[in-house]
Structure 1
Amino acid sequence: MRTVSDDVPVRLYHLDEDGGAATTLLYGSLMDALAAAAAQPEDVQAGLFLQTSNDVVAYLDFIEG
């Protein structure tokens, strides 16, 4: 992910592995999205993605650096 500022606007969404449906969990700052993602169960975290205006990254890839 190119953007690293805590206040950059992001979309946090979950991608359903069965049907491929994307469910938005949050539109907010990166800091808020990371907190919301961390509060999810591990099996949900595996399907979470962070989207900025110019990039998308899997949540687990982002936190593993």
Structure 2
Amino acid sequence: MRTTSDESTVRLYYLGDGDDGGSAETLCYAPLSQALQMAAAQPEEVQAGLFIATDNDVVAYLDLIEG
């Protein structure tokens, strides 16, 4: 993910895989720091499907925290 500040607004969403090909459910539009807190509070099985989108990039939550 390109460099962004903790206060940059991002979209935190869950990408589910359903029978119809899946769906994206937005959990919040918030500063990065708040979105990361919300993501960390989710169960592990949900965290595996979380993504964070900035104005110019998308990264899987687990890739972001492991990197």
Is this a same-fold pair by TM over 0.5? yes
Gaps of 5+ in 2: none
Gaps of 5+ in 1: none
Alignment partner of 1:3: what SS?
coil
Aligned AA (1:14): Y
RMSD: 0.8
Larger radius of gyration: 2
What is the aligned partner in structure 2 of residue 6 from structure 1? 6
What is the aligned partner in structure 1 of residue 30 from structure 2? 28
Calculate the TM-score normalised by the size of structure 1: 0.95
Aligned AA (1:15): L
Higher mean C-alpha displacement, 18-27 vs 42-51: 18-27
Rounded to whole Å, the distance in 2 between the matches of 1:4 and 1:61 is 16
Post-superposition CA distance 1:36-57 (Å, at most 9, x none): 0000000000000000000000
- Counterpart mapping for 1:26-65 below 5 A: 26-65=28-67
